[in-house]
Structure 1
Amino acid sequence: MITGIEVGPTHTDAAVLTDAAVPWATAKVPSVPGDPVASVRHALAALPEHPRTQVAVGLRGLAQALDERRGLAKVGVLRIGGPAAQAVRPLFGWPAGLRDAVCAGTAIVEGGGGFDAAEWTPLDTGAVAAFAAGLASRADAIAITGVFSPVDGAQERQAADIIHRELGDAVHVSLSGELGPLGLLERENTTVLDAALHRPTADLADGLRAAIGGTATVLVTRGDGTLMGLDHLRRHPGLGLGGGLAGTLRGAATLTGLADAVVADAGEHRVRVAALTAGFPQQALDAQISGVPVGFWMPDVIRVARGGPRAHHDLAEAVDRMQPAAGRLPLIVVGGAAADVPAALPGVSEIRHPEHGAVAGAIGAASSPVGGQAERIVRLDPRTGLQAALDEVREEARASAVRAGADPRRVQVSEVTQTPLPYLPSVTLRLHARASGPAHPL
């Protein structure tokens, strides 16, 4: 049996699934304000006694920590790129309060390049060392972003080694090549927020391990609809952003057997409308966290206020906006206030209210696989064939899932996409792969 828990702002839901992913027991308890670990403990106590071999937890509090500027690490922001990377300064456009709460200092140093070794500028190691030395006692974490790290992350890793020599191995370092998309600013923002969440997620990981106890494998949800272990959460704190909603979407798929659908998660004050594609959340193309554009993999969502004379109209409009270009997908209604959503909405052909939908987030946490993704840019030439590049990104995705806690013997690559990038020279492609599998047994 697998246990799933979702910690929400008002209630914490729990569910135990059989090996066939059928709900065996469920519970709903009030959340403890500001204390997700205590909420998990209370939810576990509300379940019947059962073998606790794997516990997966969905969390919504990481984004709240950023919104409230609570418990965040002070981050040194290092950009590698030289003059070409100086057009827009680091943290440009951030809300002033969040920037002040997070930033310990910024620097842009020489380095970076292109597809070939001849195009690369050597990393200014002296400038990196000087930047690190200047942050001693002021920074809890460092975020490193190289202009061309989606092609080659070697200079980011080289800079990380220098920073550890200057500041010690205890300082947390986030690398953009392990986290974000192609765009420099979104990838840099992603890396900075990841580093800023280092302290609250470290405390959270310790608390969950102590609260759950025993020998159970402990996992948390991530924004792409998969799970990761606590060690991976420590290494990549930002990957938990959006994990609560992603788990709810996965739960809607588990409860209905539908891989493609629009989902309405009805809460106490609002309804979150999102979509399932091949059983996983449809990913946002222009995600923002606390007003900052980011490149985290997280669900595309429309939020609709509950109540008022236009509530049902606004919900129907949001569902319509989430529909694909062709065809009409059914609407799955879940969440604690699902009963308040009517059985018919204008323009919605089919509405399902599945049994146990009130705890869909917990069911999704319990039924999701451990996952990983990989993304890179390749320029094809006589030396670099497409098949070799595809094989490499598949292996990177598989390795990412294993690092997240998947059983290496059972990981499967489920999706590989290739997107031409016409604004770059020669035949240049963005390759993306997704892999997943069950958790590695302890």
Structure 2
Amino acid sequence: MKAGVDVGPTNTDAALLDDAGAVLSTVKVASVPGDPVASVTAALARLAAPPPAQVAVGLHGAAAAVDGRRGLCRVAVLRVGGHEAEAVRPLFGWPDDLRRAVDAGSAIVDGGGGLDREDWTPLDRDAVARFAASVASTAQAVAITGLFSPLDGEQEQEAAEIVRAELGDLPIALSADLGTLGLLERENATVLDAALSGFATGVAERLAAALAPVTAVHVTRGDGTLMSLEHLARHPGLSLGSGPASMLRGAGVLTGLGDAVVADVGARRIRVGVLAGGFPEEAVSGARIGGVPVGLRIPELIRVARPFEPAELAEAVDRMQPGAGRLPLVVVGGGAHAVPDGLHPEHATTAGAIGAATSPVGGQYERVVRLPDRADLPAAMEAVVEQARASAVRAGADPLHVRILEAADTPLGYLPGPFVRLRARAAGPPARL
């Protein structure tokens, strides 16, 4: 058997499923304020079943930590890019209270500086070392972003080695691991990744102690897949947006639909999103966490406050419809009875837990490459595909059953020269060990 647990601010839902995905039982318990691990163990205890072989947990705690400005590490922010990267400083546009909670100092150092390797300037190693020494008394984590790391993340790795030599074993987040293109959004996501490192490490250790070794434990991430506890500790920012993602996945599982508009009706708000091909439709632009624009893959959502006007909800549903073709509306969540329209599947009140339990472990990889000859595209794409497979395995997927969900190439006409953005997504069932 396998279980899914969805930890919300008010209630924690849990669902027990057999290996074929049939729902055996569900429960809803009050969440333990400020303690997601205690909420998980309380919900699993109420299922009154032998320990399941696998548990997938939707924490929501990372987003709550950012929104509440609590439990965050102070982050030293290093940007590699020289004068080309100085137009907008790190942490620009952050809400003042969040910046005060996170900022341990920032610097921009020389390095990179061109689209071709022959145009690059070497990393200013001395400047990196001086910056690391200057934040030694304040930094609890470090975020490193290279202007051209989507092309090559080598200088981020080089800077990380220098920082580690100066500061020891502090958490270091690298923007190349996130893979998105926009500098500020990528840097913001990297800073949040570093800021959440203390929260994630504590939760991962407590979950492992509470549930392992009997149970293999995974946590949800914002693209509708899972990752291991070890991967959570390395990249906690990937869990941002995971609550809506699990809800969308659960709505699809309960109805058998791969494509639908989904309304998640809670006590204080309704979130409307789209399920496309069995996974959440991602926010193309404008994704924000805690008031900060981020380059993270999280679901595209429209929020409607409760109590709601039916016309306002209908407008939100219409806005999420993909063009002329109408997708069915699926209504889930604890307040689903308040919306008479649409499909109301059985177990809709615990859709998030069911979505977590049935999600695969995922991995993604993205790079910008120069391709003077389009005949070289298959080989370049195959390298990206293999990196996506490896990313899924590192996140906890069974290496024998990883499959490619997407492999896409996009020419970048706004860059001088034949540059192409390559992206691949992979997923597979959780490894049982």
Q: Same fold (TM over 0.5)?
A: yes
* In structure 2, C-alpha distance between the alignment counterparts of 1:381 and 1:407, rounded to whole Å: 36
- Alignment match, 1:183: 182
1:7-26 maps to which residues of 2 (within 5 A)? 7-26=7-26
Identity of aligned residues (%): 62
What corresponds to 2:210 in structure 1? 211
2:363 alignment partner, one of 372, 377, 387: 372
How big is the shift at 1:116?
A: 2.7
Q: Using the alignment, how far apart are the partners of 1:244 and 1:290 within structure 2? A: 15
1:151 and 1:378 in contact (8 A); partners too? yes
1:317 aligns with 2:312: no
Q: How does 1:353-368 map to 2 (within 5 A)?
A: 353-368=344-359
Deviates further, 35-44 or 106-115: 106-115
Deviations 1:296-340 (A, max 9, x none): 1100111111225x2x11111110010001300000101111111
Q: 1:425, 1:280 → 2: CA distance?
A: 34
Unaligned runs of 5+ in 1: 344-350
State the match for 1:297 in structure 2: 297
CA distance in 1, matches of 2:90, 2:11: 38
Q: Which residue of 1 aligns with 2:195?
A: 196
Partner residue, 1:280:
279
**Gap regions ≥5 residues in structure 2:** none
Counterpart position of 1:31: 31
Q: Aligned AA for 1:47?
A: L
Secondary structure at the residue paired with 2:180? coil
- How many Å apart are 1:201 and its aligned residue? 1.0
Instruction: Supply the distance in 1 between the matched residues of 2:113 and 2:47 (Cα, whole angstroms).
Output: 55
What amino acid sits opposite 2:413 in the alignment? P
More moved, 112-121 vs 362-371: 112-121
Provide the C-alpha distance between the structure 1 equivalents of 2:431 and 2:20, rounded to a whole number of angstroms. 18
Is residue 246 from structure 1 mapped to residue 245 from structure 2 by the alignment?
A: yes
- 1:209-253 CA-to-partner distances (Å, cap 9, x unmatched) read 222244211100000000000000000010000111101111111
1:413 correspondence with 2:404: yes
2:139 counterpart SS class: coil
C-alpha distance after superposition, 1:39-87 (max 9, x if no partner): 1111011002134211100122211111111010000000000011101
Q: Which amino acid aligns with 2:198?
A: R
| C-alpha distance in 2 between matches for 1:39 and 1:173 | 29
* Inter-partner Cα distance in structure 2 for 1:180 and 1:440: 25
Matches within 5 A, 1:256-271: 256-271=255-270
* Counterpart amino acid of residue 52 in structure 1: P
1:114-133 aligned at under 5 Å gives the runs: 114-133=114-133
SS of equivalent residue, structure 1 residue 407: coil
Give the aligned residue type for 2:257. L
Query: Does the 8 A contact of 2:84 with 2:113 survive in 1?
Result: no
Provide the rounded CA distance (Å) in 1 between the counterparts of 2:50 and 2:302.
37
Helix, strand or coil at the partner of 2:16: strand
Distance 2:199 2:172 in 1: 15
Q: Contact conserved, 2:51 with 2:215, CA < 8 A, in 1?
A: no
The match for 1:387 is 378
CA distance in 1, matches of 2:292, 2:301: 16
Deviates more, 1:377-386 or 1:111-120: 377-386
> Is the partner of 2:112 in helix, strand or coil?
coil
Question: Is residue 2:236 matched to residue 1:233?
Answer: no
Given that 2:179 and 2:367 are in contact with CA atoms closer than 8 Å, whether structure 1 keeps it comes out as no
Q: SS of the residue aligned with 1:73?
A: coil
Would you say the 8 A contact 1:180–1:296 is kept in 2? no
Is the 2:51–2:214 contact (alpha carbons within 8 Å) kept by the matching residues of 1? no
Partner of 1:347: none
- Confirm or deny: 8 A CA contact 2:368 2:419 kept in the other structure: yes
Kindly provide the CA deviation profile for residues 352-406 of structure 1, in whole angstroms up to 9, marking residues without a partner as x: 1000111000000000000011111112124981111110111111111011011
Alpha-carbon distance between aligned partners in 1 of 2:116 and 2:32, rounded to the nearest angstrom: 54
Which 4+ residue blocks in structure 1 deviate beyond 6 angstroms? none
Picking from 333, 336, 341, the partner of 1:335 is: 333
Bigger mean CA offset, 367-376 vs 413-422 = 413-422
Tell me the amino acid that sits aligned with residue 291 of structure 1: G
Q: Give the distance between the partners of 2:47 and 2:165, measured in 1 at CA.
A: 48
Structure 1 residue 49 corresponds to structure 2 residue 49? yes
Structure 2 residue 158 is matched with structure 1 residue 167:
no
SS for the counterpart of 2:263 is: strand
Task: Please give the TM-score of this superposition, normalised by the length of structure 1.
Answer: 0.96
CA contact (8 A) 1:71 1:199 kept: yes
CA distance in 2, matches of 1:326, 1:34: 44
Query: Could you say what the CA RMSD is over the residues aligned between the two structures, in angstroms?
Result: 1.2
CA contact (8 A) 1:6 1:12 kept: yes
Q: SS at the partner of 1:385?
A: helix
- What is the 5 A alignment of 1:151-162? 151-162=151-162
Task: Tell me, in whole angstroms, the C-alpha distance in 1 between the residues paired with 2:374 and 2:33.
Answer: 57
Aligned to 1:100: 100
The CA deviation at 1:180 is 4.2
Distance 1:318 1:207 in 2: 39
Check whether the contact 1:5–1:13 (CA below 8 A) recurs between aligned residues.
yes
Counterpart secondary structure, 2:136: coil
**Deviation of residue 114 (structure 1)?**
3.4
- 1:265-286 Cα deviation digits (max 9, x unpaired): 1111111100001000000122
2:422 matched to 1:423?
no
Aligned length: 432
**SS at the partner of 1:14?**
strand
Pairwise CA distance, 1:430: 1.2
2:142 counterpart residue number: 142
Using the alignment, how far apart are the partners of 1:383 and 1:29 within structure 2? 56
Looking at structure 1, the residues matched to 375 and 417 of structure 2 have their Cα atoms a distance apart, in angstroms, of 12
Note the C-alpha offset of 1:176.
0.3
